[in-house]
Amino acid sequence: MLDKHLHPRVKPGLNRLAALLDRPGVSPDGLTLVGFAVGVLALPFLALGWYGAALAAIAINRLMDGLDGALARRRGLSDAGGFLDIALDFLFYALVPFGFILADPLHNALPGSWLLFAFIGTGSSFLAFAALAAKHQLDNPGYAHKSFYYLGGLTEGSETMLLFGLSCLFPALFTWFAWVFGALCWLTTFTRVWSGYVTLKGLETRQG
């Protein structure tokens, strides 16, 4: 919901940083891997209750995720890079709730599992439509700089990072955050499944 409004505002700054990094020894895929490696540190940090360190790892991961795309746009987007980026993003999204579960299994296991369950819904609906959108060569309005077709919703990347940030700042409230955000994720999943089905069914009707 917020991504299409925030992306145009942060894109100029990311482009300037990417210009500074545009050197022979730096590649978009390398930035993706470094960012993921830093993001993985959030898992042990959360498990140990080091929420400030976890928040820093999450923030660096998101910065690197923006920079790899900005650098890729300077050099030309690639399917391999787009695949690597989105695959590692989804792994990163999953490890954060798991870290909160490890931090306090007694209180966080059930709401954390609910959140992971909801992430499977948003992720599967997103990727399923992206694959078929590419097959039908559908345009990607509002996200022309992305390698994949982005079917929006209430809970996109910006909202997910807000969830992670608030959870690190107020870990005692993670259970409430997880229940509420998980419900919003399922609402996003249902709207994506419905709108994706209607869109593809309409294509079949026009082509038939």
- Reported pTM: 0.84
Instruction: Please state, in angstroms and rounded to a whole number, the distance separating the CA atoms of residues 121 and 112.
Output: 14
Cα separations (Å) of 12 from 50, 172, 176? 33, 36, 35
Per-residue model confidence as pLDDT tens for the chain (208 residues): 665 666 667 777 878 887 888 888 889 999 999 999 999 999 999 999 999 999 999 999 999 999 998 898 888 878 899 899 999 999 999 999 999 999 999 999 999 999 999 999 999 988 888 777 777 766 654 444 444 444 556 778 789 999 999 999 999 999 999 999 999 999 999 988 888 888 888 777 777 6
Q: Which CATH architecture has domain 3-207?
A: Up-down Bundle (1.20)
Query: What is the domain partition of the chain in residue ranges?
Result: 3-207
